[in-house]
Amino acid sequence: MSPDGEIIGRVNQFYSAAKGGGLITIDQGTTTFDANTASFDRSYTFTVQAQDQFNYSAVTKTFTVKISTPNTYSYSNIRVQPYLKASQRSSWQAFINDNNVFTPANIYRTNDPSFGVQSTLSMVVYAGIQTQVAAAYVGAIGLNHKNKRFTWGGINKASAIDPITREVVYEVVYLEMLDPMEKDGKHLPIEVFLSKKGGVNSQLITTDSSTNFWSRSLSDLGFDAPTNHRPDPIVTVDSTGYQTSNSQPGNYYPNSITNWQTRLAGVGASERNYLPLWMRSIQPGSKSELGFKLAVPLCYCKPGTADTILLNIKYSGFEFKNLDYTIDRYIIDSVTGTASDKYLVFRNDRITV
């Protein structure tokens, strides 16, 4: 609970060594009690007392926070942000900390790092991907990922609407980002073939995707040692982008945002409810939800104040085009065994274009 009474932070869904205990799950959710109505530790009741400075009068009220879990999976969010040069970083910090632009009285949940004014140029790439070991994500970004520079679009606003009460919870002012490889919304295929003069060796050496390895334990050796046979006599490799018998690869993998998301989707299950509320809201004057936006939020503000902040930004004269938004890695907020940010750095190979 922050000093101004806001409840902030993130629920620790499962146990982690870094954050300790999490929600109780029995047999990975396969065992239930009382027709699945037992909530165990899914609710927390607390009492708040408000009093004057001399403690002459006081009043108390009891609140209950309830936690709902869609399934037994743990989910992670993947985002990116640029690492600016010192001069650009100073310029950005001067702008984002200007109270004449981001009026404190208009800001929503000032002390909550997930809202308020955003001090980093962070952009969500994939919200709600099943938490796996780090190696699973590294394998997914082996293709179609490379250092990439995004360009700046327009400054827009959106409303986050409570799905039950239909009231506006907050507004967000954000910068729309553009992928130079997806002009006019056109998506490139995940793989393209460019033929080269002279063709390709027809006798290609291939491998399959098995992950079995030779055993290194003496107890696993049979009577044929030391010429013991491998349990699965199949050779494996770590990359599917190259062919050992082809010195002139003709298959290339476009480095576009849609292909990034396609590769990540293969890691595990996805949960749509992890998408920010404003992206899941039907905007005023529209008949459909906004949906995923490639965007950098600048600030979250109280309902009805976004237009004022938009004008403040316009008259500030700040030039976003002077900031180099180049991405060379993912930041994932949790992997199996670790509930803290991890960096997944992109490769820099010649078959990703």
CA gap 270, 241 in Å, rounded: 26
Tally of CB atoms within 10 A around 351:
17
Question: For the chain, which residues score pLDDT lower than 50?
Answer: 198-203, 211-213, 233-234
Which pLDDT score, from 0 to 100, does residue 128 have?
Answer: 93
Q: Which CATH architecture has domain 73-190+252-345?
A: Alpha-Beta Complex (3.90)
Sequence ranges of the domains in the chain: 73-190+252-345
Which pLDDT score, from 0 to 100, does residue 338 have?
Answer: 79
Which pLDDT score, from 0 to 100, does residue 82 have?
Answer: 96
pLDDT tens profile 165-213:
999 999 999 999 999 999 888 888 998 887 555 444 444 555 555 544 4
CA gap 289, 283 in Å, rounded: 7
pLDDT tens profile 52-94:
988 889 999 999 988 777 666 788 999 999 999 999 999 999 9
Which pLDDT score, from 0 to 100, does residue 198 have?
Answer: 45
* pTM, rounded to two decimals: 0.78
Cβ-contact 75, 333 below 8 angstroms: no
- 281 — phi, psi (to 5°)? -105, 145
Q: Which two tokens stand for residue 131?
A: 């938490």
pLDDT tens profile 160-170:
999 999 999 99
Which pLDDT score, from 0 to 100, does residue 202 have?
Answer: 44
Which pLDDT score, from 0 to 100, does residue 242 have?
Answer: 62
Percent pLDDT > 70 in the chain is 75
3-state DSSP call for residue 66? strand
Which pLDDT score, from 0 to 100, does residue 44 have?
Answer: 84
